[in-house]
Amino acid sequence: MLAGMVGAGLAPCAAGRAAAARPRPPASLLGREIRRLPTSRKVVALTFNAAWDESGVDVVLAELRRRRLAATFFPTGKFAEARPAAVRAMGAEHGLGNHSYSHPYFDDLSTTAREREVRRADRAIRAAARTEPLPFFRFPYSSTTAASVADVNRLGYAAIEFTTDTNGYLGPGRGMTVERVVERAIAALAPGAIIQMHVGSTSDGIVLDAQALPRIIDAIGAKGYGVVDLREFLVTEE
Q: Is 151 helix (H, G, I), strand (E, B) or coil?
A: helix
Mean predicted confidence (pLDDT) in 2-22: 43
Length of the chain: 238
Is pLDDT above 90 for 142? yes
DSSP string, 50-90: ESS--TTHHHHHHHHHHHT---EEEE-HHHHHH-HHHHHHH
Predicted pLDDT of residue 205: 79
Quote the CA–CA distance of 227 and 69 in Å, as a whole number: 7
Q: Cβ distance 136 to 230 under 8 Å? A: yes
Q: Look at residue 238 in the predicted model and tell me its pLDDT.
A: 57
Q: Does the pLDDT value for residue 15 go beyond 70? A: no
Q: What is the pLDDT of residue 1?
A: 33
* Domain range enclosing 42: 2-237
Share of residues in the chain with pLDDT > 70 (%): 90
Per-position DSSP letters for 101-148, written without gaps between them: SS---GGGS-HHHHHHHHHHHHHHHHHHH-SPPPSEE--GGG---HHH
Supply the pLDDT for residue 7.
36
pLDDT tens-digit series, residues 207-233: 999 999 999 999 999 999 999 999 999
* Average pLDDT, integer, range 33-58: 97
**Dihedral through CA 175, CA 73, CA 43, CA 31, nearest 10?**
100
Report the CATH number at residue 216.
3.20.20.370
Number of domains in the chain: 1
pLDDT for residue 55:
94
SS3 assignment, position 229? coil
Instruction: Calculate mean pLDDT across residues 150-165.
Output: 98
Say whether pLDDT at 41 is over 80: yes
Q: Band the pLDDT of 62: cuts 50, 70, 90.
A: very high
CA-to-CA separations, 16 to 5, 21, 22, 82, 236, in angstroms, rounded: 16, 10, 11, 33, 11
pLDDT tens digits, 171-207: 998 999 999 999 999 999 999 999 999 999 876 779 9
Asked whether residue 14 carries a pLDDT value surpassing 60, the answer given is no
